[in-house]
Structure 1
Amino acid sequence: MDGVFLAATNFVLTDGAGRTFVTVSTVSRPRFAAYSDKVRDGLVIMIDDKGARILADDICFANECRLTPDGQGLVVSETFSRQITRFDLGEAGLSNRRTLAEFGRGDFPDGLRYDADGHLWVTSIVGNRLWKLTPDGRKILHLEDCDDAWVDEVEAALAEGRMGREHFYGVGKSRLGNIASIDFSADGRTAYLGSLCGPSILSIPTVPSTNTGNAA
Structure 2
Amino acid sequence: MKLRQGYKLIVIGDSITDCDRARPVGEGLYHGLGHGYVNLLQSLIRCEHPSFIVQLINMGISGNTIRDLAGRWQRDVLEHEPDGVIIGIGINDVWRKYDNPMNQALAVLEEEYERTLNKLIDSTQAIGAEVMLLTPFFIEPNKDEPMRADMDRYGAIVKTVGECRGLPVVDLQQVMDRFLAYTHPSTLALDRVHPNQTGHMAIAKAIVEAL
Same topology, TM > 0.5 = no
Greater helix content: 2
Calculate the TM-score normalised by the size of structure 1: 0.30
Larger strand fraction of residues: 1
TM-score for the superposition, normalised by structure 2 = 0.31
